[in-house]
Chains A and B, each alone.
Chain A
Amino acid sequence: MAVTTLKNFIDGEWVDAHAQEHLDVINPARGEVLARVPLSTREDIDRAVASSKRAFEEWRNTPPLARVRYLFRLKELMEDRFDELAKVQTREHGKTIDESRGETRRGIEQVEVATGIPTLMQGYNLEDIASGIDEHCIYQPLGVFCHIAPFNFPFMVPLWFMPYAIATGNTFIIKPSPRVPLSQTKLMELIEEIDLPPGVVNMVHGANEASNALLDHPDIEGVTFVGSTPIGRDVVYKKCGETGKRVIAQCGAKNFIVCMDDCDLEKSLPGLMTSFFGNTGQRCLAGANLLVVSEDERSYKRIVDAFIEAAANIRVGDGMDEAVQMGPLQNAAAKQRVISYIETGIREGATLALDGRNVKLFGSDPLPLDCFLNPSVFINCTPNMTIAREEIFGPVACVLRARTLTEAIAMIHSVPFGNSAAIYTSSGKAAREFRHEVRCGNVGINVGIPAPMAFFPFGGMKDSFFGALHGQGKDAIRFFTECKVVIERWF
Chain B
Amino acid sequence: MELTTASGIINFVEALEDTSAKFYESAAQRHGPLTDIFISFAKENKKNVQAVKRAYYSVISDALEACFSFGTLLTTSYEINVGLDDVVTRNELLQRAIDIENTIHAFYKKGGESVVSHIEDIARIFKRLARTHENRVSKLRDLKG
A interface vs B, CB < 8 Å? Answer: 82, 96-99, 101-103, 105-106, 153, 156, 266-267, 269-271, 273-274, 278-279, 283, 285, 315, 322-326, 447-451
Contact = CB atoms under 8 A, between A and B. Distances in A.
B39 interface: no
Given A267-B116, A279-B62, A326-B67, A101 B5 contact: no
Given A105-B57, A322-B5, A156 B62 contact: yes
A270 B8 contact: no
Contact of B116 (A103, A266, A323): A266
A270 B116 contact: yes
Interface in B36-70: 57-69
A98 B69 CA distance: 10
16 contacts: A101-B57, A102-B64, A105-B59, A105-B61, A106-B61, A269-B68, A274-B66, A278-B65, A283-B62, A315-B4, A323-B1, A323-B5, A325-B4, A447-B63, A451-B62, A451-B63
Interface in B100-125: 116-118
A323 B66 CA distance: 11
Contacts, number: 93
* A103, A270, A324: most-surrounded residue (chain B CB, <10 A): A270
B65 A271 contact: yes
* A82, A322, A326, A450: most-surrounded residue (chain B CB, <10 A): A322
* A82, A101, A279: most-surrounded residue (chain B CB, <10 A): A101
A96 B58 CA distance: 18
Interface of B: 1-8, 11, 57-69, 116-118
* B3, B6, B68, B118: most-surrounded residue (chain A CB, <10 A): B68
Given A99-B62, A106-B62, A449-B63, 4 more contacts: A102-B64, A106-B61, A270-B116, A451-B61
A272 B117 CA distance: 10
Contacts of A98: 5-7, 60, 66-67
Nearest to A109: B61
A437 B90 CA distance: 69
Contacts of B7: 96-98, 101, 322
Nearest to A101: B60
A325 B68 contact: yes
A230 to B, nearest CB: 25
B48 to A, nearest CB: 19
* B3, B58, B66: most-surrounded residue (chain A CB, <10 A): B66
A270 B2 contact: no
A325 B61 contact: no
Contacts of B62: 99, 102-103, 105-106, 153, 156, 278-279, 283, 449, 451
